Amino acid sequence: MTVSQQVRNELTGVGLETDEPVITFDDPDEEVLALADTHDALATTEHLLEEVDHLTQLSQGLEELAGIGDSIQEASPMEVRLMHQATRLALLGSDVGVEMLMPSLESSVGGTISTEGLKQAAKSVWDAIVRTLKNIWEAIRNFFRGVKGDVQRVKMRNTQVRFNGENATGRAINNETTLLGREINALTTFFRAPRSAKDVILGLTEFKRQANVVYGKYCDTILDIGRRLEAEVSGFDLNNTEASLEKMVRIGEGLDLRAIASQSGKVIEMVDSRWENGTAIRASALMGTRSVVYVTPKSRGGAESLLARSEAVRNKRVSVVMSSPQATNRVSHGEVDTFPASAVVDITHLVDELMRMISQGDKKVMQLDKVHARLKAASEGLARKLEQASDLSETSRAHVRSALAFNVAYAHWASQPQSAFSSLVVSACRASLIASSKSLKNH
């Protein structure tokens, strides 16, 4: 089942016992399909980010193997076997075999190892990385174009629900409880479904608090880091690659995720198998059973290893994930205390504020797009210099490859958690309006 089909089923209530419409839309299919398209764009972005990570590891692995092969002057049978095994491991998950890249490897015993196939493959992978990064930003643009439409639709519904809430103020509640459908999943916090309007208001207020951090301090910090990284990549000194990479690593080490996370209020350091090799800090749980998690990996080579520090910095991540790795079944319905009309009006005010914050966040993402475009162009220039520099040592080449990998890291930083967070906010706001509309029918 595609994401679009899943979203269509969920938003149209397929599988629910009641077919009662929750809000009357001028064209419900149009809204469902629009929301599904936004979810598809988000899923595409996340898939491409995973793909570019894999390609980066493959490219670096092939480059490193080529360097090792070039350093061998008289290959022993053991060295040839190890080279074959290492290349096979590097190519795991691809459709390429060792023989395609190194057809004469077995005959290299006693002589040098030809690495031209490895080098050409690494270049091809780098070209694929560049293309994938372009596709990532196109997916991000598509996502936020979709979000703009989603925001407008939510604002229109919000105006309607507020009008109904104001008109219902002072009326008696005819039914003390209101049955919600699957929209209750978007209002559930850390596996606890809402019981009243108060829970929904608290959930929306938490979104507002964390939106100030995600769209504010985090985006501002990433914008500054991107501009500084672009300057360092543009001026990268091939005669002193260690010093140039050191400057970039220090810029990345300045991304203090703990300090940023702390601005959203109380944070919890997680003990979670998903982030064993580092420190994961979770902000307060959000509706939709999601949390914003700030992950700072440990350096695998110790503080003295520049390449290990660079890898740790590049793998810093801020993500919207399930609040807990434990599995949970989504529910098809649930009951809440019928929302008072005054609470419905309060909810609509919060929804208005959150839609405004998403729109402001969208502008920040467009700024990040421009910064990343400049960093990408600088990285492509450095890659061309590396290709032409035939006299660089393997250590210097490793420094340059590490610097180029910051381009991929920045694609992560500039797109996440903003896109997933915006999607989560829209879903929670829409579900809040559905719950409010259903409650007003019980007045």
For each of the chain's 443 residues, which pLDDT tens digit applies? 443 343 333 333 333 333 333 333 334 434 443 454 566 666 777 777 777 777 877 877 777 777 777 778 787 888 778 777 777 777 776 667 777 777 777 777 777 777 777 777 777 777 787 787 777 777 777 777 777 888 899 999 999 999 999 999 888 888 899 999 888 989 999 878 899 999 999 999 999 999 999 999 999 999 999 999 999 999 999 999 999 999 999 999 999 999 999 998 888 888 777 776 778 899 999 999 899 999 998 877 655 689 889 989 999 999 998 887 765 656 667 899 999 999 999 999 999 999 999 998 888 888 998 999 999 999 999 988 988 888 888 889 889 989 998 998 998 898 889 989 999 999 999 999 999 999 999 99
Which secondary-structure segment (H or E) carries 47? helix 28-71
What is the distance of C-alpha 31 from the center of its chain?
Answer: 25
* CA 191 – CA 182 distance, rounded (Å): 14
CB-CB contact of 307 with 249 (8 Å): no
The structure's pTM equals: 0.80
* CA 80 – CA 106 distance, rounded (Å): 7
pLDDT score for 77: 81
pLDDT score for 434: 93
Which two tokens mark 153?
Answer: 């639709």
pLDDT score for 133: 75
CB-CB contact of 188 with 287 (8 Å): yes
User: CA dihedral defined by 127, 395, 93, 48, rounded to 10 degrees?
Assistant: -50
Rg (CA), the chain: 26
C-alpha distances out from residue 401 to 66, 97, 236, 374, Å: 13, 24, 12, 18
Amino acid (1-letter code) at residue 297:
P
pLDDT score for 164: 93
C-alpha distances out from residue 274 to 236, 257, 271, 297, Å: 35, 17, 9, 12
pLDDT score for 7: 32
**Residue ranges of domains in the chain:** 3-72+113-440
pLDDT score for 8: 37
pLDDT score for 121: 79
SS3 of residue 270 by DSSP? strand
